[in-house]
Amino acid sequence: MALSVELIRADVADVLGEDPADIPVDENLVDYGLDSVRIMSLIERWRREHDIAATFVDLAEQPAIEAWVKILGASA
């Protein structure tokens, strides 16, 4: 299954321990508790389940869902 905005959002919310509805797509996720360990666990999950190629640095550079959608080539 390809990654979608909603899937990214759900997975992000999961590692942050928050409700997906509380995670905006256009804001800096660091303010919501995103850190390097959580990014790495997301990458691990997405490599396993979606075979993504993006690296830690790619995602950490622009820690927002909107930006990740482009990097990960997810469907809107």
Partner 1 sequence: MRLTAAQSGMWFAQALDPGSPAQNTAECLEIHGPVDPSLFARTLRQVVSEADALRVRIIEGADGPQQLEVVEPTLPLKVRDLRAASDPDAEARAWMREDLATPFDLAAGPLFAHALFRVGDERWLWYQRVHHIVMDGFGYSLLARRTAEVYTALAAGEEPGESPFGRLADLVAEDTAYRASETYETDRRFWDGAFADRPDAPNLAGRTALPSRTFHRRSARLSPEATARLRESASSMRATWPEVLVAAQALYVSRATGSAEVVLGLPMMGRMGSVALRVPGMVMNVLPLRLTVTPQATFAELTRQVVLGIRAARRHQRYRYEDIRRDLGLLGEGRSLVGPLVNVMPFDYGLTFAGARTEAHNLSAGPVDDLTVNVYDRADGSGLRIDYDGNPALYEPDELGAHQARFMELLERIAETEPHTPLAEHTIARHAELTLVVDEFNATAHPVPPTTLIGPIEGQTVRTPDATALVFGDQDLTYAELNARANRLAHHLVEIGVHPGALAAVAVPRSLDLVITLLAVLKAGGAYLPLDPDYPADRLAYMLQDAGPACVIADRADRVPASGVPLVALDSLDTTPYGTYDPPRALTPHHPAYVIYTSGSTGRPKGVVVPHAAIDNRLRWMQAEYELAPGDRVLQKTPSGFDVSVWEFFWALRVGATLVVAEPGGHKDPAYLARVIREQDVTVCHFVPSMLQVFLSEPAAAGCKGLRHVFCSGEALPRETVREFGRVLDGVPLHNLYGPTEAAVDVTYHPCATDATGPVPIGKPVWNTRLYVLDAALQPCPPGVQGELYLAGTQLAAEYLGRPELTAARFVADPYGPPGTRMYRTGDLARWTEHGEIEYLGRTDHQVKLRGLRIELGEIEAELAADAAVGAASVLVREDRPGDQRLVGYVTPSDTGSVPDPEELRARLAGTLPDYMVPGAILVLDDFPLSPNGKLDRRALPAPSFEGSGDGGRVPSGHREETLTRLFAEILGVPQLGVDDAFFDLGGTSLLAARLVSRVRDTLGAELTIGTLFQAQTPAALAAHLDADHSEADHALDVLLPLRAGGDRTPLFAFHPAGGMSWCYSGLLSRLDPGQPVYGLQARGLHGEGELPSTMEEMAAEYVEALRAVRPHGPYRLLGWSVGGVLAHTVAVLLQEAGEEVELLALLDAYPSDQWRDAAVPEEADALGALLRMAGYDRTDELTREDVLATLQREGSALAGLPDRTLTAVLDIVVNNARLMREHDHRPFEGDALFFTAAAPRAEDWLTREAWAPYVSGSISNHDVDCLHPELTQPRRLDEVCAVLAARLKELDHA
Least separation in angstroms between residue 13's CB and partner 1 is: 10
Q: State which residue, 47 or 75, has the beta carbon closest to partner 1.
A: 47
Among 43, 60, 66, 71, binds partner 1 (CB under 8 A): 60
Q: State which residue, 34 or 65, has the beta carbon closest to partner 1.
A: 34
Please say whether the beta carbons of 39 and 56 come within 8 A: yes
Binding mask 12-51 for partner 1 (x = CB under 8 A): ----xx----------x-xxxxxxxxx-xx----------
Q: Which CA distances in Å does 62 have to 1, 3, 28, 39, 76?
A: 24, 18, 8, 11, 18
- Helical segments of 1-76, H only: 5-16, 36-50, 56-61, 65-72
